[in-house]
Amino acid sequence: MKKWIFLIIVIFGSSQFLHSQEENILKIEGKGEVEIIPEVMKYTLQVSINSEAQKKSLDDLNQVVAQITKTLTSIGINPDSIMTESFNVDIMDGRYNQNIETQYIANQQLSFKSSSKSETILSILNAISDLDLPIEITNQAELSKKQNDSLEQMLLNLAFKDAEQKSNVIAQAGNIQIEGISRVDYGNQLEPFSNQLYALNEVVVTGYGSQSRSFGNYNIPPQKFTKSIIVTYKIKTN
């Protein structure tokens, strides 16, 4: 009987110890937020040429691409930086409809990059428009390698600082003492304040969709980047 009583006391005592250890912590979400104007603009050009002969559609496509390359080179774009992202020939078969001639549609998608300065963007768009050719143009602002390399460190520094400021406010209000950091959660996991997956390692980007585009003006607005971490502090009640 004494052995059973001793075992129950040990188990009960261990449970109380673990419970009290779990209670003496403070979990804080730290968030870093940075606004950056991207230094790079990526352009995607879609060219489609159709003809009743496959060879002619390909020859005409080659001529258009050559004109585009020559024009872009004349305004300072390195021809080696103009890349082909996709190429294909679609066939609109008229064998089953005598009213439709068989058409061959040659498609090529080109891409290249420039600086995001307004005057550079406008010179490129105007040069392509002046060709008066069947070219679809889309573009997207991007961070440069230098900006990307420094972004995550900046966000993490700000997130830790934010968590520290919040913990100090709570400690003062709750009359508790923070003894140090016990754990930092950084990555996909269950969010500690609910039962939902919390994507801590994702950088959230906003801002590109609201940029101003008007004649004679192409200003790139800053993009907002945010990143979160969960910092667990060991605390002591006063």
> What are the structural domains of the chain?
23-37+146-237 (3.30.110.170), 40-142 (3.30.70.2970)
Euclidean distance between CA atoms 187 and 233, whole angstroms: 18
Question: Tokens 């934010």 label which residue?
Answer: 162
Whether 156 and 30 have beta carbons less than 8 Å apart is answered as: no
Q: Tell me the CA distances in angstroms from 109 to 84, 129, 139, one per residue in order.
A: 6, 17, 13
Euclidean distance between CA atoms 9 and 11, whole angstroms: 6
Q: What pLDDT was estimated at residue 233? A: 93
Euclidean distance between CA atoms 166 and 13, whole angstroms: 34
Q: What pLDDT was estimated at residue 100? A: 72
β-bridge pairing 176-185 and 188-190: unpaired
Euclidean distance between CA atoms 121 and 217, whole angstroms: 9
Euclidean distance between CA atoms 230 and 159, whole angstroms: 9
Q: What pLDDT was estimated at residue 4? A: 47
Q: Is 237 exposed, middle or buried (0-12, 13-18, 19+ CB in 10 A)?
A: exposed
Q: What pLDDT was estimated at residue 193? A: 41
Q: What pLDDT was estimated at residue 55? A: 92
- Of 142, 188, 144, 156, nearest to 33 by C-alpha is 156
Q: What pLDDT was estimated at residue 146? A: 92
Question: Tokens 């192409």 label which residue?
Answer: 218
End-to-end CA distance of the chain: 41
DSSP-assigned letter for residue 234: E
Report mean pLDDT in 10-residue bins for the chain, 238 residues: 43 36 80 90 94 92 95 94 94 71 91 93 91 89 90 90 94 90 71 41 44 53 87 87
Q: What pLDDT was estimated at residue 91? A: 86
- Of 132, 140, 119, 101, nearest to 216 by C-alpha is 119
- Of 198, 37, 171, nearest to 116 by C-alpha is 37
- Of 41, 31, 37, 40, nearest to 224 by C-alpha is 37
Q: What pLDDT was estimated at residue 206? A: 44
Whether 41 and 213 have beta carbons less than 8 Å apart is answered as: no
